[in-house]
Amino acid sequence: MRSNVNFFSDEKFRSIFFQTLVVGLFALGIFFIVQTTAYNLEKRNIATGWRFLTDPAGFDISFSPFIDFKSTDTHLDVYFVGVLNTLLVSFCGCIAATILGFLVGIIRLSSNWLLVRVAYIYVEFTRNVPLLLQIILWYSILIQLPRVKQSLEFLDIFFISNRGIYSPRPVFENGFSYVFLAFLLAIISSFILRKWAKKRQDTTGRQFPVITSAFGMIVFLPLLLFFILGSPLSFDYPALKGFNFKGGMVIRPEFIAMFLALTIYTAAFISETVRSGIMSVTKGQREASASLGLKKNWIMRLIIIPQALRVIVPPLTSQYLNLTKNSSLGIAVGYADLVHGFGGISLNQTGQAIECMVIVMATYLTISLTISLFMNIYNRSIQFKEK
């Protein structure tokens, strides 16, 4: 009895004991869940396994901008279509939400009373209404647009109806790859130019108009080549034939609803992050830089933003993760993302619920960890470097 008391009064023993106990119970719990699931699946004669992945899907997916999907393709192809669609709406959403979020965040710190109020109402409204409702709201508005035969026309080449926005599709002809190559080349040279200009400024103090010259290079180099090669680009125009428009490009209302809702919702959070980031830079920094004679936009660019970013980036990362995960709500309006296609239709047609869900979850985990990884690398690059 006595030795027992001694054991428990030993802090080291106690902590090891309880940690082992907790881990042991957790492992037992997991074991229990797996066992029960396997037992019940077997008892109910539900076949398990991964074989279904190579079976033909048998259904069609209309929204597949990257892969030409046919009903004879496999469930694995359904998966890839879903992943790409999820990435598409997440990527577009993250970019747009960042731009809108920064804009609104800066507006809320401006001195224009009206703009500040409008931004305030926007942020408070969108932040406090569930995202699912916003998605459904946008979709309901979009399907109330005119029917396809009464489409709104713009310049005879854009058509807006409740089937989406139709626009001309660029057709790249022979030689366009050179224009594209020139574009890439211009971007790379801009980076090299920036590096050179920075080095020169550090050593001699002389500045070089990097942004103007980079912009000129990126725009005019490809454009020049484009005309030299005799404009190797034509357009395929949409035209109403039969039931729908044929030709051209289309952006579906399901995508637009998802894009708008995700962007507007997430941008509200990002704007708050940006606002707090900028406000975290003390007033003294601004005053000190002003007293050094820096121009107003230089103060913002060279003093405020770099310090604010240190505060902004970590929460920004979690907003990107949120947006990506929230894109799974696409199922509410029939947006053909990963959850809707593979985690929904494939699951349902094959009945392999556990397998499909495991794959879908692993995929979201991978996407999220990848986003985190890149954001962490970026975060490290903007932190204070102690010299």
Partner 1 sequence: MKKLLSIFAVLAFAFSAHAGTLDDVKNRGFLKCGVTTGLAGFAAPDDNGEWAGLDADMCRAVAVAVFGDRSKVEFITTTGKSRFPTLASGEVDMLARNTTWTISRDVNLGFEFVGVNFYDGQGFMVPSALGVSSAKELDGATVCIQTGTTTELNLADFFRLNGIGYEALPIETNDEGKENLFAGRCDVYTTDASGLSSTRAAAANPDKWVVLPEIISKEPLGPLVRHGDHQWGDVVRWSLNAMIIAEELGVTSENVDAQKSSNVPEVLRLLGVEGSYGEMLELAPDWAYQIIKQIGNYSESYEANVGPDTPLEIARGLNALWTQGGILYAPPFR
Residues of this chain that interact with partner 1 (CB under 8 A) are 28, 32, 35-36, 39-40, 43-47, 58-62, 70-72, 143-144, 147-148, 162-163, 241-244, 246, 253, 334, 336, 340, 344-345, 348-351, 353
Tell the residue number behind the tokens 């985190």, with chain if given: 372
Q: How far apart are CA 349 and CA 59, in angstroms?
A: 9
Q: How far is the CB of 251 from partner 1 (least distance, A)?
A: 14
**Closer to partner 1 by Cβ: residue 119 or 135:** 135
**Closer to partner 1 by Cβ: residue 7 or 125:** 7
17: which residues sit within 8 A by CB, 6+ positions away?
A: 8
Q: How far is the CB of 164 from partner 1 (least distance, A)?
A: 10
Q: Which helix or strand (DSSP H or E) is residue 275 part of?
A: helix 253-279
Q: How far apart are CA 180 and CA 118, in angstroms?
A: 41
**Closer to partner 1 by Cβ: residue 35 or 285:** 35
Q: How far is the CB of 328 from partner 1 (least distance, A)?
A: 15
**Closer to partner 1 by Cβ: residue 234 or 348:** 348
Q: How far is the CB of 145 from partner 1 (least distance, A)?
A: 9
Q: How far is the CB of 35 from partner 1 (least distance, A)?
A: 7
DSSP letter for 42, please: H
**Closer to partner 1 by Cβ: residue 74 or 349:** 349
Asked if 302 contacts 312 with a C-beta cutoff of 8 angstroms, the reply is no
> Alpha carbon 143 to chain centroid distance?
25
Q: How far apart are CA 355 and CA 346, in angstroms?
A: 11
**Closer to partner 1 by Cβ: residue 173 or 236:** 236
Q: How far is the CB of 57 from partner 1 (least distance, A)?
A: 8
Asked if 257 contacts 314 with a C-beta cutoff of 8 angstroms, the reply is no
**Strands in 120-191 per DSSP E:** 152-154, 158-161, 164-167, 169-172
